[in-house]
Structure 1
Amino acid sequence: MTTLNNLPHKKDERKTLRNNLTPAEAKLWSQLKNGQLNGFKFRRQHSINEFILDFYCPEKKLVVELDGAGHFTSAGNLHDATRTELLAQHGIHVLRFENKLIWSDLASVLHAIDLALAESK
């Protein structure tokens, strides 16, 4: 992949998103920041190409996305599938979780992320 990480023209958008996390993103970030999950560093609102990712672990090329209602439409599903496919072409794996799962079963979300990190090359 050429230099597609954090393109300069996306800087303001990334900053706005970081300063306005959804409640679910803020809750998950509180568990991922500072290497709290087995020492792995995550970045929030990191961009690759034109995509701004909720959370990204560059060491393992793992993306964690939290999906709200807008993702559960035909257009949302198509956008997410296209994005996941394009990221996969660069060896990047995407995990998706519904926002409400952060509130109902955060432990299982963290466990799934931990497993994906362990399985990543």
Structure 2
Amino acid sequence: MTRLFNKKSEKEKRRSLRNTMPLAEKIVWSNLRKRELLGVRFLRQYSVDYYVIDFYSPRIKLAIEIDGASHLDEEAIEYDKKRQEFIESVGIKIIRFKNEEVFVNIDRVIEEIEKEVKARTPLFPPFCKGGSKRKEM
């Protein structure tokens, strides 16, 4: 079976993108890292096949994309559409924000992300194997 997530062939690309994150992505990352957003873990620069997602939570299959000026020309719009269709075809939801949204109103951006996280998070997480057993003293 072909590996779809975080392919080794994309490792250098992911590393490079992590090391050169634009300011808008850094701002969002500072709110997502260390499970600060409702206890959900996000990873940055995660790849699905040959496409790299800005932020991704495997647990709830949610991707967050921060779009800068490079996403505005016709060719980039068409590429993003094709990319999004592929990523969504494997069950991942993508939400997008423009750099300007992050700079002007980060609180609203985080609220939108929280709303999506809540919608995709089960009310009662599944028990761990053997989680209901008590040890006898």
Using structure 1 for the length normalisation, give the TM-score. 0.95
1:8 aligns with 2:5: no
Listed as ranges, the matches of 1:15-54 within 5 Å are 15-54=15-54
Query: What one-letter code is carried by the residue in structure 2 that aligns with 1:28?
Result: V
- 4+ residue segments displaced more than 3 Å: none
Q: Give the deviation of 1:3 after TM superposition.
A: 2.4
Residues 71-113 of structure 1, C-alpha deviations (whole Å, 9 max, x = no match): 1111111111111111111110000100111110001111111
Max Rg structure: 2
Residues 19-66 of structure 1, C-alpha deviations (whole Å, 9 max, x = no match): 111111111100000000000000000111000110001111110000
Q: Give the deviation of 1:116 after TM superposition.
A: 0.9
The CA distance in 2 between the partners of 1:2 and 1:35, in whole Å, is 30
> What root-mean-square deviation, in Å, do the aligned CA atoms of Structure 1 and Structure 2 show?
1.3
Answer 1 or 2: which has greater helix percent: 1
Query: What one-letter code is carried by the residue in structure 2 that aligns with 1:40?
Result: V
Aligned residues: 121
List runs of 5+ in structure 2 lacking aligned partners.
122-137
Q: State the identity %.
A: 34
The CA distance in 2 between the partners of 1:83 and 1:13, in whole Å, is 16
- Aligned partner of 1:82 in structure 2 is 82
Change (3 A) 1:2 1:90: farther
Q: Give the deviation of 1:2 after TM superposition.
A: 5.3
Query: What one-letter code is carried by the residue in structure 2 that aligns with 1:95?
Result: I
The CA distance in 2 between the partners of 1:2 and 1:55, in whole Å, is 23
Using structure 2 for the length normalisation, give the TM-score. 0.84
The CA distance in 1 between the partners of 2:51 and 2:107, in whole Å, is 27
The DSSP-based 3-state class of the residue aligned with 2:112 is helix
- Aligned partner of 2:114 in structure 1 is 114
1:61 aligns with 2:67: no
The CA distance in 1 between the partners of 2:117 and 2:31, in whole Å, is 15
